[in-house]
Structure 1
Amino acid sequence: MLACVKRASGELVVEQRPQPEAATGEVVIDIAYGGICGSDLHYFHDGAAGEFTITEPLVLGHEVVGRIAALGDGVTGLALGQSVAVHPAEVCGECAACQEGQPHLCRASRYLGSAAHTPHIQGGFTEQLVVAAERAFPLPAGMTLRRAALAEPFSVAYHAVRRAGDLAGKTLLVTGAGPIGSLAVAAAKQAGAGTIITSDLTDHALGLAEQMGADVLVRADQTEPHEHPGQIDVAIEASGTAAGLNSCIRAVRPGGRIVQVGILPPGTTAILGNALVNKEIQLHGSWRFHTEFADAIALLASDIDPEPLISHEFDLVDAELAFRTASDRSSASKVLLRMNPEPADSSDV
Structure 2
Amino acid sequence: MRAAVTKGKSMIVTEVADPVPQEGQLLVRTLACGICGSDLHALADPDAFMETTRRSGGTPYDPRDGLVFGHEFAGEIVEYGPGTQRALPVGTVVCGPPIGIGPQGAGIIGYAPMYPGGYGEYMILNEALTMAVPGGLDPKVAAITEPFSVAARAVARSGIGAGDVAVVLGLGPIGLGVVAHLKARGHGPVLAADFSPKRRALAEGLGADELIDPGAGSPYDRWADLGVPTTTVERIAGELLGTTGRGAVIFECVGVPGILQQAIDGAPAGSTIMVVGVCMQSDRIEPGVAVSKELDIRGSFGAMPNEYGATLNDIAEGRIDAGSIITGTVGLEGIAGAFDDLADPEAQAKIVVTP
- Identify the TM-score tier after normalising by the shorter chain: 0.7 to 0.9
Match of 1:65 in 2: 74
Instruction: Determine the C-alpha separation between the residues in 2 that align with 1:16 and 1:294.
Output: 33
Q: Secondary structure at the match of 1:225?
A: coil
Match of 1:81 in 2: 91
Match of 2:132 in 1: 138
How far has the Cα of 1:121 moved from its partner? Answer: 5.2
Instruction: Determine the C-alpha separation between the residues in 2 that align with 1:219 and 1:272.
Output: 25
1:196 aligns with 2:190: yes
Deviations 1:143-183 (A, max 9, x none): 22121010100110000000111432211000001110011
Amino acid at match of 1:278: S
TM-score, length-scaled by structure 2: 0.84
Amino acid at match of 2:251: I
1:6 aligns with 2:20: no
Larger Rg: 2
Q: 1:155 to 1:49 in 2, by over 3 A?
A: farther
Match of 1:277 in 2: 291
Q: How does 1:290-309 map to 2 (within 5 A)?
A: 290-291=304-305, 292-302=307-317, 303-309=319-325
Deviations 1:84-143 (A, max 9, x none): 013201369xxxxxxxxxxxxxxx95111226xxx6753221100112211321112222
Q: What RMSD, in angstroms, separates the aligned Cα atoms of the two structures?
A: 2.0
Match of 2:109 in 1: 112
Instruction: Determine the C-alpha separation between the residues in 2 that align with 1:208 and 1:271.
Output: 31
Structure 2: unaligned runs, 5 residues or longer:
54-61, 229-246
Alignment check: 8 A CA contact 1:44 1:323 kept: no
Alignment check: 8 A CA contact 2:274 2:299 kept: yes
Instruction: Determine the C-alpha separation between the residues in 2 that align with 1:176 and 1:5.
Output: 29
Q: 1:80 to 1:151 in 2, by over 3 A?
A: same
Instruction: Determine the C-alpha separation between the residues in 2 that align with 1:130 and 1:90.
Output: 8
Q: How does 1:333-348 map to 2 (within 5 A)?
A: 333-339=349-355
Identity %: 30
How far has the Cα of 1:191 moved from its partner? Answer: 2.0
Amino acid at match of 2:15: Q
Instruction: Determine the C-alpha separation between the residues in 2 that align with 1:250 and 1:178.
Output: 23
Match of 2:258 in 1: 243
Match of 2:233 in 1: none
Instruction: Determine the C-alpha separation between the residues in 1 that align with 2:132 and 2:114.
Output: 27
Deviations 1:172-212 (A, max 9, x none): 00000111001100101122212001111211111111111
How far has the Cα of 1:49 moved from its partner? Answer: 5.9
Match of 1:264 in 2: 279
Match of 1:342 in 2: none
Instruction: Determine the C-alpha separation between the residues in 1 that align with 2:213 and 2:301.
Output: 27
Q: How does 1:209-220 map to 2 (within 5 A)?
A: 209-220=203-214
Instruction: Determine the C-alpha separation between the residues in 2 that align with 1:197 and 1:215.
Output: 6
Q: 1:278 to 1:169 in 2, by over 3 A?
A: same
Instruction: Determine the C-alpha separation between the residues in 2 that align with 1:145 and 1:80.
Output: 16
Deviations 1:290-345 (A, max 9, x none): 13111111111111111110000001122111211222212211111112xxxxxx
Amino acid at match of 2:203: A
Q: 1:6 to 1:297 in 2, by over 3 A?
A: same
Q: How does 1:152-163 map to 2 (within 5 A)?
A: 152-163=146-157
Q: 1:333 to 1:48 in 2, by over 3 A?
A: farther
Alignment check: 8 A CA contact 1:256 1:280 kept: yes
How many residues are matched?
319
